[in-house]
Every structure is written in C-alpha cells, then in structure tokens.
C-alpha cells in the first residue's frame, strides 16, 4: 500500500470533520483557509524545497486563477466549472512567460526577481479597469452541482479538500519518478544533472508551471469561496506568508505543506483573536509574537515540523526492492567497435589571460584504460570538462567516433555514450543511494512528467530502478542501497558516483580521482571492476593521483603539466620519463 493507506485514512478523517455534531462554523471556515493555503504551499514544496528555486511571488498566480473565473463568470456568464481549466491555463501561461526569464536567474537574483514581478502584478491587478481596480469584482456565483449550491463553508469544504488530496497525489507521484529525481538533483547544481541528460532549464520551468497551476487552482477556489476578489490577497505579504508555510511544515515534504498551512493559519487566527484582549487592545503586537513563535518553532525543527514529527515515529515504511528480473535495452554500439573512440586534437581552454589547457592532443582507443595524470593545477579536470561539455573549448577539436563534440551540450554528449564522475562528489545527500544512481539512467527512461503524475510510468520506472540496483550491486554497495547518500563515507560516495555513471551504459567512462578516499582493499576491488569493464568492451579515461593505482591499471598514461601535455606512453615508459620526474619532483630531484 505504501503511502496510499495514510492518504486514504487522512481523506476519511477530513470527510467526517464537518459531520461532527456541534462543530462551530468558524472552524470549518478555518479548515477551508488551511486547504487553500496548502495548495499554494504544495507548489512551493516542489519549487523551493525540492527544486531549490525560491519564490515570493506565488500569490500573484492565485490572482490569475481568481480573476480569470471572476471575470468570466460575472461579465460573460460562464459556468464556474467551465472556468476551472481556463483559470489553470491562464496561470500556466503566465508561469511560462515569467518562468522563461526567472528560472535562468540564480543566487539572490532569483528571489529578488520573484519579488519584483510579484509586486508588479499586484499593482497591475489594482490598476486594470475591467478587473475592478482596487475594488475588485464581486457577486461571483458559487460552485454548484445540480441543485446543490456551495454557498456555505461546509459545502465548498469538500471541493477544497478534494482538490488538496488530488494535488497531493499528483505531486507525490511526480516526485516518485524519473522526472522527480531530475528535479531533486537541481538543488545540488546543474552540472551533475546535465551530465546525465537532464535538461535543467526545462526541469526548472516544469516545477515553476506546476507550482503556478496549483496556486491558480487555489485562487479559483478562493474566488468561489469568498465570492469576491480584490488585489489585497495577491500581493507581496501573502506571497511571503506562503513561503513561510512551506518552510514551517517542511519545505521538501508534500504533507509538510498541509501541516504548515494548519500551523500558520491557526496560529495567526488565534493570535489575532485573543492577543489584543490579553494586551488591552495594543495594536499589531500579534505580528511580532507571530514572528517570534515561528522563529522558535524553526529552532526546534530546522527542517520543518513534518520531518521532525516523522523522526519520532517508531516504525519506518519499508522500501520495496527493485525487481531484478527487469532490464533496460542495452546501448547500440555497432558491430566490432574498434579503433579511436575519443580523439582530442589541440584542445585549448582559456579563461581570460590564463590558459588552463594548452593545445592538448591524445586519444582513447576502444577497450582501453587511459590515465590522465599530472600535478595539481595541471588542467586534468578542465580537460574532462571539455570532453563532457561542461565547458566549451576555446579552440581545437574533441570527437567521439569521429563526430565533433567540443561545442555540444552535456545532454548530447551523454546520449553518445560518455558518462563521468566528478573530482568533488556531486550526489544529493538526502536521496537514497538507489535514487542517486537511478539519475544516471535518466536518458534511458521515456515516461513524461504527465504520465508520472498519473502513475502511468510504473513499467518504465521499474526498469530504471532495476538497472540502478544492478549497478549498485556491481560496485559492491548492495547493503547501502536504501541509505541516504550523505550518510556514506567519502570513499563510498565515490563508488556510488561510479555506479551512477555505469547506469548510462557508457562506451567511454570518465573517472575523476575515483580512488581518493578509498582504503587499500577498496582500491583493489575498484581496479578489478575497471578491468572487467574494459574486457567487456568499455573504455575508461581516469584522472588519479595515486601512482601505484594508475601504474598497475592503465594501458596508457598521458601526463599534463601547466595545461601542456609533456609525455604519453605505457606506464613503464612514464615511470622513467625525465620530464615526468621533473614535473612531479622538481628540477633539483
């Protein structure tokens, strides 16, 4: 049953709440407001907590949904149910237009950008004549089903909470999918995600649209709940409050949005109702107390109240192990792949006046292990970045099977069968080892985001997870498959990165310092694995500082110093090369 049983129990409880005898109508109104806020916060869970994109402007998307239905139902007489898809479409289109600009921002520019257009849209709503300017639009018809008119809070309650449950189900399905893993990978930066085929601008825009559509749905329900709209609920202050709700509940958790909405809405209402009585009507002190209480709450539970509560549960839901009988189709390599697999010809990378890679040329043959060595700062990792598309070459040529790739994006390069690890480990710490490794198979999946939300991707998802589990077992970490990646040692995390790279089913594997942090026996097992990969038809290009590891493993060694290739040959030849000895030990050695 997984998460379905708790969700069904929650739905049953919420369905019976209005039926409780002597239930005060005020509490039903409060629950309606909690549901409306939870919808917006749920979008922020995906956008901010999972995707790492901070937005203070979600209230404006509520305004798009609310004003669309208000205008169409009052001025044109459309049924509220007909305006629902239109309200969502308007919110989605607005998200596309704003998102194309906003998601390209980073750092502090991103939240500042959302504040800017949030303020701009608030003033737009208050100045446009057909939207009623500051007075807004009133006499909005209620929702109705047959003869049932949802005028009182107890009847529209069911519409609001049905929307919350559906939105939660769709959002959790999206997160538990190939697309969801790509979104979660965004928090650790775009380089690792793009190295495995994730189109990061598209993924960011997707979560931006999803959050906007949920906010538009909340605005549509709000308009028919209050039956009047004006610009006030769609300004900067409500936008900040929605982000507060997501953070208090737990910004990375869907049900944290519901819990956070309950805490913030109830706390705010209680303070506004009772604090003036206790303080003899002293004005606006409830805002100060509200802020102090929220800060205290976040001190108690820095990651949010929902994960804090979960940590106290005596049982943890069991994870279902992938079906080992499933498999993904292998990469088409062509008959008898041989000859030059990777060719680097006079590759140069210049940063201003600094030349990091200076006309370097070498190749990697099929079924060969080549080591790229040199002192710190020699340009080894920069060369890796040129090969994998992280950096464009200033000049020169990099080709795979004769096809130039030196100006190709990382997504295209990984599609050709080149995968890599990184000098500094780039895993998502709070995702399991299985989920991190499955990101490597991203391009081998086919299910769309919509199919994932509707749970139509299960067959595709099962094959991806089975492939990830197979590679984890291959590298010897089967016992850690369900552990958070951040809980592993540095050496184990490097092995996880190798398993992730193997999920690409590459013909060329690039390893950046794979033996760093490994103990002697772990290095021996790694060397054995790399030999098995070579014998199975894969080529390996590795950067490594452990000369004993390199000399016992590599078929050929390329040596860089200050961005220049100073030697190339067999390990035996490199050991006695005077230029190499001088580069490592100095001229006086």
Q: How many C-beta atoms lie closer than 10 Å to residue 312's C-beta? A: 6
Rounded-to-integer distance, Cα 490 and Cα 264, Å: 40
pLDDT at 172: 94
pLDDT at 582 over 70: yes
Write the DSSP symbol of residue 440: G
pLDDT at 588 over 50: no
Percent over 90 (pLDDT), the chain: 68
Q: How many C-beta atoms lie closer than 10 Å to residue 415's C-beta? A: 14
Q: Collect all residues with Cβ–Cβ distance below 8 Å to 313 and sequence separation of at least 6.
A: none
Which of 226, 218, 91, 84 minimizes the C-alpha distance to 145? 84
The owner of tokens 């650790």 is 188
Q: In this structure, are strands 418-420 and 403-404 parallel, antiparallel, or unpaired? A: unpaired
Q: How many C-beta atoms lie closer than 10 Å to residue 232's C-beta? A: 14
Q: Tens of pLDDT along 440-458? A: 999 999 999 999 999 999 9
pLDDT at 348 over 70: yes
Handedness of CA 528, 443, 322, 462 (dihedral sign): negative
pLDDT at 1: 45
Q: Tens of pLDDT along 474-488? A: 999 999 999 999 999
pLDDT at 318: 66
Burial of residue 19, with CB atoms counted within 10 A of its CB: 0-12 exposed, 13-18 middle, 19 or more buried: exposed
**Could you tell me the pTM of the whole model?**
0.90
Name the pLDDT band for 337 (thresholds 50, 70, 90).
low
Rounded-to-integer distance, Cα 540 and Cα 560, Å: 18
Burial of residue 580, with CB atoms counted within 10 A of its CB: 0-12 exposed, 13-18 middle, 19 or more buried: buried
Write the DSSP symbol of residue 565: E
Name the pLDDT band for 358 (thresholds 50, 70, 90).
very high
pLDDT at 283 over 60: no
Structure tokens at 536: 């199975």
Please, are residues 212 and 91 in contact by the beta-carbon 8 Å criterion? Answer: yes
Structure tokens at 195: 């190295």
Rounded-to-integer distance, Cα 376 and Cα 341, Å: 27
pLDDT at 125: 93
Domains within the chain, CATH numbers bracketed: 28-239 (no CATH), 337-417+506-589 (3.40.50.300), 428-504 (no CATH)
Looking at every residue in the chain, the average pLDDT score rounds to 90
Mean pLDDT of 204-220: 96
Cite the beta strand spans of 178-336 per DSSP E.
Answer: 228-229
pLDDT at 589 over 50: no
pLDDT at 545: 87
Name the pLDDT band for 372 (thresholds 50, 70, 90).
very high
pLDDT at 556 over 90: yes
Please, are residues 228 and 139 in contact by the beta-carbon 8 Å criterion? Answer: yes
Which of 168, 193, 166, 173 minimizes the C-alpha distance to 51? 193
Q: Tens of pLDDT along 222-264? A: 999 999 999 999 998 899 999 999 999 998 899 999 999 999 9
Entry field: residues in the chain: 589
pLDDT at 114: 93
Please, are residues 368 and 553 in contact by the beta-carbon 8 Å criterion? Answer: no
């Amino acid at each position: 049953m997984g998460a379905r049983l708790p969700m069904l129990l929650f739905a049953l409880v919420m369905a019976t709440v209005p039926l409780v005898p002597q239930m005060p109508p005020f509490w039903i109104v409060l629950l309606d407001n909690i549901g409306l806020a939870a919808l917006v916060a749920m979008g922020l869970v995906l956008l901010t907590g999972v995707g790492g994109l901070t937005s203070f402007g979600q209230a404006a998307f509520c305004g798009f949904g609310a004003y669309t239905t208000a205008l169409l139902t009052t001025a044109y007489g459309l049924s509220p149910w007909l305006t629902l898809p239109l309200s969502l479409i308007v919110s989605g289109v607005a998200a596309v237009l704003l998102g194309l600009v906003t998601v390209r921002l980073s750092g502090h520019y991103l939240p500042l950008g959302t504040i800017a257009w949030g303020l701009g849209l608030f003033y737009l709503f208050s100045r446009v004549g057909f939207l009623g300017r500051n007075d807004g639009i009133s006499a909005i018809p209620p929702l109705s089903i047959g003869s049932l008119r949802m005028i009182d809070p107890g009847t529209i309650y069911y519409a609001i909470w049905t929307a919350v449950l559906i939105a939660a189900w769709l959002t959790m399905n999206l997160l538990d999918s190939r697309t969801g893993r790509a979104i979660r990978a965004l928090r650790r930066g775009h380089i690792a995600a793009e190295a495995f085929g994730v189109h990061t601008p598209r993924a960011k825009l997707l979560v931006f649209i999803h959050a906007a559509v949920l906010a538009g749905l909340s605005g549509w329900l709000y308009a028919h709940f209050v039956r009047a709209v004006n610009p006030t609920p769609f300004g900067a202050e409500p936008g900040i409050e929605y982000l507060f709700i997501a953070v208090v509940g737990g910004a990375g958790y869907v049900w944290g949005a519901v819990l956070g909405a309950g805490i913030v809405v109830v706390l705010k209402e209680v303070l506004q109702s009772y604090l003036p009585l206790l303080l003899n009507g002293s004005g606006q002190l409830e805002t100060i107390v509200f802020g102090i209480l929220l800060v205290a709450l976040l001190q108690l539970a820095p990651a949010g109240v929902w994960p804090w509560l979960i940590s106290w549960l005596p049982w943890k839901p069991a994870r279902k192990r992938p079906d080992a009988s499933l498999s993904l189709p292998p990469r088409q390599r062509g008959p008898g792949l041989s000859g030059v697999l990777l060719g680097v010809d006079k590759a140069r990378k210049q940063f201003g006046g600094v030349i990091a890679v200076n006309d370097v040329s070498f190749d990697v043959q099929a079924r060969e292990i080549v080591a790229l060595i040199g002192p710190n700062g020699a340009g080894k990792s920069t060369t890796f970045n040129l090969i994998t598309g992280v950096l464009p070459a200033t000049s020169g040529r990099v080709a795979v099977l004769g096809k130039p790739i030196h100006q190709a994006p990382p997504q295209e390069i990984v599609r050709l069968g080149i995968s890599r690890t990184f000098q500094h480990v780039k895993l998502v710490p709070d995702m399991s080892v299985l989920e991190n490794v499955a990101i490597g198979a991203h391009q081998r999946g086919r299910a769309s985001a919509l199919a994932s939300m509707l749970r139509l991707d299960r067959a595709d998802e099962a094959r991806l997870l089975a492939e990830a589990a197979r590679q984890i077992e291959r590298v010897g970490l089967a016992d850690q498959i369900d552990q958070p990646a951040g809980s592993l040692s540095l050496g184990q995390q490097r092995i996880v990165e190798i398993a992730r790279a193997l999920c690409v089913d590459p013909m060329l594997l690039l390893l950046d310092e794979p033996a760093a942090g490994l103990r002697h026996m772990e290095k021996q097992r790694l060397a054995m694995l790399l030999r098995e990969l070579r014998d199975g038809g894969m080529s390996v290009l590795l950067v490594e500082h452990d000369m004993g590891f390199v000399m016992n493993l590599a078929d050929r060694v390329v040596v860089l110093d200050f961005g220049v290739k100073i030697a190339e040959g067999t390990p035996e030849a490199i050991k006695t090369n005077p230029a190499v000895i001088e580069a490592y030990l100095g001229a006086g050695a």
